[in-house]
Amino acid sequence: MINLVLGERAVCLSLGFFDLNIDLVILGVICFKSGCPCLVFQIWEEDFEVIDQRKTPNHLNKDSVFTYETVPFKFGAGVTEEIATDLSRFGVTRVLLVSDPRLHAAGLSRRVADVLKSSGIDIEIFSGVLSEPTVESWREAIDFAVTMKPNGFVALGGGSSIDTAKAANLYSTYPADLLDYVNAPIGKAKPVPGPLKPLVVIPTTAGSASECTTVAILEIEELKLKTGISHRYLRPTFAVLDPLNTTTCPPMVTASCGIDVLCHAIESFTALPFNSRPRPASPELRPPYVGSNPVSDLWAAKSMELVSRYLARAVRNGKDLEARSALMLACTYAGIGFGNAGVHVPHAMGYPIAGMVESYIPPDYGSSNPLVPHGIASIIAAPAWFRFIGPAVPNKHLEAACLMGCDTSEADSSQAGEILSDAVVHLMREVGIPNGLSDLGYTAQHIPALAEGTMRQERLLALSPCQVTQADVEQVFRIALRYW
């Protein structure tokens, strides 16, 4: 495998070496900056077993395969103006543009619509996306799509708009009860019957990486938790990554989205290794999230570096185009990583944190109702989880801390969780993330219900690097009540 990545300030050559005669996989990245080459190797050697599925008895029940899929994309300031050309490649002539009220009021959705209309593409706009989509908001978008009958979709906005477009595409193409495709045990987890209509996405935040992923997330208000749909057919067809579209994001939106990128990267990097997962009964049953693997680790590692370096700059100055560009790339890199490896316990804990909120109203989101944005919900228990689990799987946690800029040269394995936790807390404080669950209005009395909601996220918990009990989760929530 050889990937050449060209940038204004660096040329990176990624090399993968797979030696099937030894239990070892080495991945390297050579970066040439200012004429000084730096060689960084990530070595997969602990517990790595090369398994030949043709010779391995079924009773061993370990998978030996990881998959790598991602969305094609183009990146650059001003690239939104090329959206009509991108759609024409897929034969789209009638488009449903899915966006949110803020972007519609700001005129951005109308500007995209005008570009498409000038190229002869018929378009209608659905602008009813909620910042945290619900069953009802999904149904409104689905009904709109069923009535309009588009042959393609454009999603403009953050993860909420992209996820809503995925849902509208799915249910208007293959009508079903809303819970039919939703993950078990909340829904029936029925597989998506077949390919969907083309979906081109234009992110306006750098956070969810929904442009890269196979999932769509919604809140089930009556259950006070979040869940979603996961299937490879949900992955968008093409992504248009224009950092100019993110420069109007206010500080807390930028901070929440950026810290979500960090969480994606660390969780995919530390997820259960792909070769520790059970072997599926057949290849088509292998999940989109296969666990950490040599390829996803490369993307996650670079994402951690970029977020740690540029997030605070973008929060301080939203017009800093270099920082905005770096964060959009970091978001995409993390999306490529966790879009194949998956995320685990911090995100599982984040879903009930968001779903059970009673009083917290975040700045900059324009909401008068209690709301915990997804990025804040996902990161708020993450430092406590890293501190709890770090000593059990120290190498990846120390490497993650190093990628965030920590000096780990004299650290031992018992300090792994503490060092990474402290690094994440430092960045949280720097960009204004709330100080633990207590700042979101939660107390120790809420912990049993939060833990119960976490344990219902079976798809995510399956990727934990260690077995997790409800007692473990309650202990982590207690640590997460306050950090400083």
- Return the CATH number at 91: 3.40.50.1970
User: Which pair of structure tokens corresponds to residue 326?
Assistant: 């770096």
Instruction: Band the pLDDT of 51: cuts 50, 70, 90.
Output: very low
Which ranges in 432-469 belong to alpha helices (H)? 436-439, 447-455, 458-461
Give the C-alpha separation, 308 to 401, whole Å.
Answer: 10
Asked if the structure places residue 74 within a domain, the reply is: no
Average pLDDT over residues 245-266: 97
Amino acid at 244: L
DSSP 172-225: HHS---GGGSSPTTTS--PPP-S----EEEEESSSS--TTT-SEEEEEEGGGTE
Asked if the structure places residue 264 within a domain, the reply is: yes
Asked if the structure places residue 166 within a domain, the reply is: yes
Side-chain half-sphere of 277: how many Cα atoms within 13 Å?
A: 29
Going by C-beta distance under 8 Å and a sequence separation of 6 or more, which residues neighbour residue 176? 190
pLDDT of 154-187, one tens digit each?
A: 999 999 999 999 999 999 999 999 999 999 889 9
> Of the segments 29-33, 187-191, 288-292, 423-427, which one has the largest average pLDDT value?
423-427
- Return the CATH number at 37: 2.20.25
Asked if the structure places residue 272 within a domain, the reply is: yes
> Is the pLDDT assigned to residue 4 strictly greater than 90?
no
Instruction: Report helix, strand or coil for 342.
Output: coil
Asked if the structure places residue 66 within a domain, the reply is: no
Asked if the structure places residue 70 within a domain, the reply is: no
Are 10 and 106 found together in one domain? no
Domain closes at, from 241, 267, 285: 241
> Is the pLDDT assigned to residue 216 strictly greater than 70?
yes
> Is the pLDDT assigned to residue 132 strictly greater than 90?
no
pLDDT score, position 284? 86
Instruction: Band the pLDDT of 392: cuts 50, 70, 90.
Output: confident
Give the C-alpha separation, 393 to 467, whole Å.
Answer: 12
DSSP 124-144: EEE----SS-BHHHHHHHHHH
189: left (phi over 0), alpha (psi -120 to 50) or beta: left
Please tell me what DSSP assigns to residue 278: B
Are 232 and 118 found together in one domain? yes
For tokens 């093409």, what's the residue? 238
Q: How many domains does the chain have?
A: 3
Asked if the structure places residue 64 within a domain, the reply is: no
pLDDT of 138-150, one tens digit each?
A: 999 999 999 999 9
Domain closes at, from 32, 50, 68: 50
- Return the CATH number at 308: 1.20.1090.10
Are 322 and 468 found together in one domain? yes
pLDDT score, position 221? 87
The Cα angle at residue 221 between residues 215 and 222, in degrees rounded to 5 = 125
Are 234 and 264 found together in one domain? no
pLDDT score, position 45? 47
Are 267 and 197 found together in one domain? no
Are 226 and 117 found together in one domain? yes
Instruction: Band the pLDDT of 380: cuts 50, 70, 90.
Output: very high
The Cα angle at residue 105 between residues 83 and 100, in degrees rounded to 5 = 65
Are 324 and 439 found together in one domain? yes
Are 317 and 455 found together in one domain? yes
Are 370 and 256 found together in one domain? yes
pLDDT of 293-327, one tens digit each?
A: 999 999 999 999 999 999 999 999 999 999 999 99
> Is the pLDDT assigned to residue 125 strictly greater than 50?
yes
Give the C-alpha separation, 112 to 379, whole Å.
Answer: 33
Are 236 and 210 found together in one domain? yes
> Is the pLDDT assigned to residue 109 strictly greater than 50?
yes
Asked if the structure places residue 124 within a domain, the reply is: yes
> Is the pLDDT assigned to residue 2 strictly greater than 90?
no
Instruction: Band the pLDDT of 346: cuts 50, 70, 90.
Output: very high
User: What is the residue range of 405's domain?
Assistant: 251-479
pTM of the complete model beyond 0.75: yes
